[in-house]
Amino acid sequence: MRMSRRMENLAPYLFVEISKKIAEKKAKGETVVSFAIGDPDMPTPPNIIETLCQEAHNPVNHRYPETEGLPELRQAIAEWYKKRFDISLDANEEVLPLIGSKEGIGHITFCFIDSGDIALVPDPGYPVYSVSTMLAGGESYYMPLTEENNFLPDLEAIPPPILKRAKLLWISYPNNPTGAVADLDFFNRAVKFAQQHELAICHDAAYSEIAFDGYQSASFLQADGAKEIGVEFHSLSKSYNMTGWRIGMVVGNTKVISALREVKSNLDSGIPQAIQYAAIEALTGPQDYLQEKNAVYQRRRDLLVEILNSIGLEAKPPKAGIYIWAKVPKDYTSMEFTNDLLDRLGVVVAPGTGFGKNGEGYVRLSLTVPDAGLVKGLSRLAEWRSSKRQFRQKEVT
Ligand SMILES: Cc1ncc(COP(=O)(O)O)c(C=O)c1O
């Protein structure tokens, strides 16, 4: 059997490795508290589940769904955008439901990138932007996201020869993994930049509905001219605790939406219809749930940030999203610190380098740990300094 060359360049997905390590620990009978994965622990709201159950009984929903999704779902997405961001969308031409936003993010690359083309991707960043670029035969140019620049890419620093070959610019705020946010001014600058250099922009807004202290995320499509050059990805996964149901959407530029619909119709067979009805209920039903959920995350954020700073890790409270991006102690790399926490304390975090080389010096902690685990995790983290001292003494003696 001879596998493709691209398989050689495909590293295992970061969380597959982390899950393996957790399973090994558990098999030895050890308890592990994982802050590594951003998978909401709270359940999908009951009204959404209720709709899903009812629709699952309807035989009409047992058959192949259409790639473009139910017209009622596209309409619900357009109305949600109008209500939430005051953006008008044509439900037929500018909206496309997805089997989770990861699916669309992976597939949209095939609409832009041929062999030798470049995609501009954030580093650190969600790994799917660069992996899909590689699978499409293209190259990623990594834009460093640094603290000095508030974890925004410095677009003007991209070398002109790179810009000549670049076709696609990826941005994502509220950001995974850094927890940074972007305002409308940044989105306006990004659109101007894309117009100057004939780039398309894909904005990944998977975390837009999780925000704290009254902060409200802007939509990239609110920027002047955004719809002429780009699209925005959204997901019901984090907003409505629906990661397991697999449903998201992409909205914006008609030509891009149409190209992605074309790719998808050749590769997948749409979203199960009962899940589409559940999504309609999520988007059009009561929304107070969002605030309740954000209050839980905010409380966890404050507890975690306090503990992390108390053991010497610099961590700022994020305004939005579900992640804390913490600086590791000076004498550790990201990976060394991650392994130290796992080996000695049974606490799992995601190493910053799993998101790119500019993630060195950081670890990412997710707020999606249920309260019982959180209390255990916090007390284990609080022990880190003293257990380190004892461990080092043991090493010396
Ligand atoms: C930045 C970002 N975008 C997109 C996704 C994909 O979410 P989903 O496929 O569940 O919609 C994730 C998931 O963690 C993410 O972190």
Closest ligand 1 atom to residue 246 Cα is 10
59 alpha carbon – ligand 1 mean position (Å): 31
What separation in Å is there between the alpha carbon of 31 and the centre of ligand 1?
27
- Closest ligand 1 atom to 103 CA: 9
- Residue 348 identity: V
User: For 343, which DSSP code?
Assistant: I
Q: How far apart are CA 393 and CA 26, in angstroms?
A: 28
Tokens representing 397?
A: 């003696």
Helices and strands in the chain, H and E counts = 16, 13
| 204 CA: nearest ligand 1 atom | 3
pTM for this predicted structure? 0.95
Q: Is 161 left (phi over 0), alpha (psi -120 to 50) or beta?
A: alpha
Q: Answer whether 140's CB lies under 8 Å from 355's CB.
A: no
**Ligand 1 pocket check for 177: Cβ under 6 Å:** no
Residue 235 in contact with ligand 1 by CB distance below 6 A: yes
- Tell whether ligand 1 has an atom less than 6 A from the beta carbon of residue 67: no
Supply 282's token pair. 């999520």
Count of residues in the chain: 397
The answer to whether 138 touches 111, Cβ cutoff 8 Å, is no
**Residue located via tokens 């009254």:** 214
For the chain, 397 residues long, give each residue's pLDDT as a single digit of tens: 989 988 888 877 667 777 787 888 889 899 999 999 899 999 999 999 999 999 999 999 999 999 999 999 999 999 999 999 999 999 999 999 999 999 999 999 999 999 999 999 999 999 999 999 999 999 999 999 999 999 999 999 999 999 999 999 999 999 999 999 999 999 999 999 999 999 999 999 999 999 999 999 999 999 999 999 999 999 999 999 999 999 999 999 999 999 999 999 999 999 999 999 999 999 999 999 999 999 999 999 999 999 999 998 999 999 999 999 999 999 999 999 998 999 899 999 999 999 999 999 999 999 999 988 999 999 999 998 777 756 655 655 4
CB-based burial label for 256 (10 Å; 0-12, 13-18, 19+): buried
Q: How far is the CA of 102 from the centre of ligand 1 (A)?
A: 5
Of all protein residues, the one whose alpha carbon is nearest to atom 3 of ligand 1 is 206
* Cα 326 to Cα 55: distance, rounded to the nearest angstrom: 43
d(CA 169, CA 199): 7
* Cα–ligand 1 centroid distance for 396 (angstroms): 45
Residues 6+ apart with CB under 8 A from 43: 49, 241
For residues 99 and 247, what is the distance between their CA atoms, to the nearest angstrom? Answer: 5
Task: Burial-class residue 66 by CB neighbours within 10 Å (0-12, 13-18, 19+).
Answer: middle
